[in-house]
Amino acid sequence: MYKLPDLEYDYNALGKYISGDIMHLHHDNHHQTYVNKLNEALDQVPELKERELVDLLANLDSVPESVRAAVRNQGGGHYNHSQFWKWLTPTGNGEPTGQLKEALVKKYGSFQDFVDEFSARSLAVFGSGWCWLLPDLSIATTPNQDVPLEIGEPILGLDVWEHAYYLDYKYNRGDYVKAWWNVVNWPEVERRYLSSAS
């Protein structure tokens, strides 16, 4: 039985960049719905409850067809949002440090070049989806709640569904993406980067 994880900060803590209204709606309603519907699907095939969610998502072919779409969409929604809250922090300092920063600069030329590339890819997602930073520091995008797990779990992800920004930014996804950089939890991204390399 999956449960909605608590936020590790106050709903209003990111307010300057992402409002408390959005955080309540996104966490308490959207994410809770993914959790509820995932649990309903798994009740139909209880043996799937013994496997890790990330294993199901990485091996959707092994999930019975009767619940495959639900696991993909609702399970993906639960997995993605559970990470997304941890990738946000009210105490973001705007830039990574240490080995992650060095590696990003090596791959993209500068941290700003990485930011520009990731932002452009986020803006180019048509409709609902996500933009990801993968363990090899490549950038990927997916539609809906799909998760790119081919080379390991993403180390950073940005939700570009309209529900993530419309209350604050209307149709201006670019303003949302620009604001989001201010609340990225770089220590958490670096922790994931280092543990994916080991």
Binding of Mn ion by 147 (CB under 5 A): no
Total Cβ atoms within 10 A of residue 45: 15
Q: DSSP assignment, residue 132?
A: E
Residue whose tokens read 């993909």:
72
Length of the chain, please? 198
Minimum Å distance from CB 62 to Mn ion? 26
Mask 13-52, x = binds Mn ion (CB under 5 A)? ----------------------------------------
Q: Tell me whether residue 159 or residue 188 sits nearer to Mn ion (CB atom).
A: 159
Strand partners, 159: 130
Q: How many residues bind Mn ion (CB under 5 A)?
A: 3
* Cα Rg of the chain (Å, integer): 17
Minimum Å distance from CB 164 to Mn ion? 5
Which residue number places its CB atom closest to Mn ion?
Answer: 159
Q: Tell me whether residue 164 or residue 183 sits nearer to Mn ion (CB atom).
A: 164
The token pair that represents 134 in the structure block = 């993968």
> Which segment (12-20, 59-67, 129-137, 155-163) binds Mn ion by CB under 5 A?
155-163
Sign, Cα dihedral of 157, 168, 177, 189: negative
Residue from the set 72, 147, 159, 176 that interacts with Mn ion by CB under 5 A = 159
152: burial class by Cβ within 10 Å (0-12, 13-18, 19+)? middle
Residues that bind Mn ion (CB under 5 A): 159, 161, 164
